[in-house]
Structures are given as structure tokens and as C-alpha cells.
């Protein structure tokens, strides 16, 4: 996996589908228990990691994962970049995207790193 943290100052790839895999209330900026600022990286779409598994905690089928990612805006022509708060859930989401057949990478610094930089914009709401 490529490490996008070195690209932080340059911004993320313009053609990437950026997925914030945290809970919706953290994505919207309504609740932030950890980071100095609440919200999400501008342009990100919320696709919580919990939706990648079934009731038994197993990954959904590759086709079901693919449909979920397509509904969130992923396509076969752009990389999928996943982030969360610390990188742990984003690693899970990156694997799910790979299982679904997408070129996926992890932004390991995740929102915790992004939110530490006052010069980087943070979006709130949907």
C-alpha cells in the first residue's frame, strides 16, 4: 500500500475517491471525542466500516462490497483512499475495497493527522 501521509501538504490525489469510514456523527462533526477539530476532510464521502460486515462479523461478499462502494462513488478508474481516526478501521475498509476489486490505498495518518494541521480545511455536515 502506498503511504499518502507524505502527500499531506500537497493534498490527496485529485482523482481519488476519498472515503471517511468513521461513524456518521464523527464525519458530520457532531461528535469528536479525540481530535482537536471535528468534521472530515473536504470531498470525503462517509462509508462506515461497520457496513462491510454481516451480523456474524464476516466480510460481505465481494459483490455486496462492490455495490456498497459503487453507491459511495467508487469506480474502476480512480483509486479509493480510506481514512478513519487513527488508521485501524481504514485498514479494514481498504481490505474490503480490495476484496471488491478496487485499487485501494490507506491514508494512515487519517483524520487525527489531518485535523492537527490548522492550515488544512475541515468540512462539517454532509
126 vs 3, 5, 27, 29, 48, CA distance in Å? 27, 24, 8, 9, 13
Question: What grid cell was written down for 11?
Answer: 493534498
Note if 84 is an active site residue: yes
| Beta carbons of 88 and 110 less than 8 angstroms apart | no
Looking up cell 481516526 gives 85
> pLDDT value at position 11?
56
Rounded CA separation 110/44 (Å): 12
Chunked mean pLDDT (size 10), the chain, 126 residues: 43 80 96 93 95 97 98 93 93 97 91 90 92
CATH classification of 5-114 is 3.60.110.10, yes or no?
Answer: no
DSSP output for 3-71:
--GGGGGG-S-TT-EEEE-S-HHHHTTS--SSSSS-SB-TT-EE--GGGGB-TTSPBPPHHHHHHHHHH
Question: What grid cell was written down for 98?
Answer: 480490495
> pLDDT value at position 8?
46
Kindly report the pTM of this predicted structure. 0.88
Domain ranges, ordered by start, for the chain: 5-114
Which of these is catalytic: 12, 16, 74, 84? Answer: 84
> pLDDT value at position 85?
92
Amino acid at each position: 500500500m502506498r503511504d499518502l501521509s507524505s502527500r499531506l501538504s500537497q493534498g490527496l490525489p485529485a482523482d481519488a475517491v476519498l472515503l471517511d469510514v468513521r461513524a456518521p456523527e464523527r464525519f458530520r462533526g457532531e461528535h469528536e471525542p479525540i481530535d482537536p477539530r471535528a468534521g472530515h476532510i473536504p470531498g470525503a464521502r462517509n462509508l462506515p466500516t461497520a457496513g462491510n460486515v454481516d451480523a456474524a462479523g464476516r466480510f460481505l461478499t465481494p459483490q455486496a462490497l462492490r455495490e456498497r462502494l459503487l453507491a459511495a462513488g467508487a469506480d474502476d478508474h480512480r483509486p479509493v483512499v480510506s481514512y478513519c481516526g487513527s488508521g485501524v478501521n481504514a485498514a479494514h475498509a481498504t481490505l474490503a475495497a480490495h476484496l471488491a476489486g478496487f485499487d485501494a490505498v490507506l491514508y494512515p495518518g487519517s483524520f487525527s493527522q489531518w485535523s492537527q494541521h490548522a492550515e488544512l480545511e475541515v468540512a462539517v455536515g454532509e
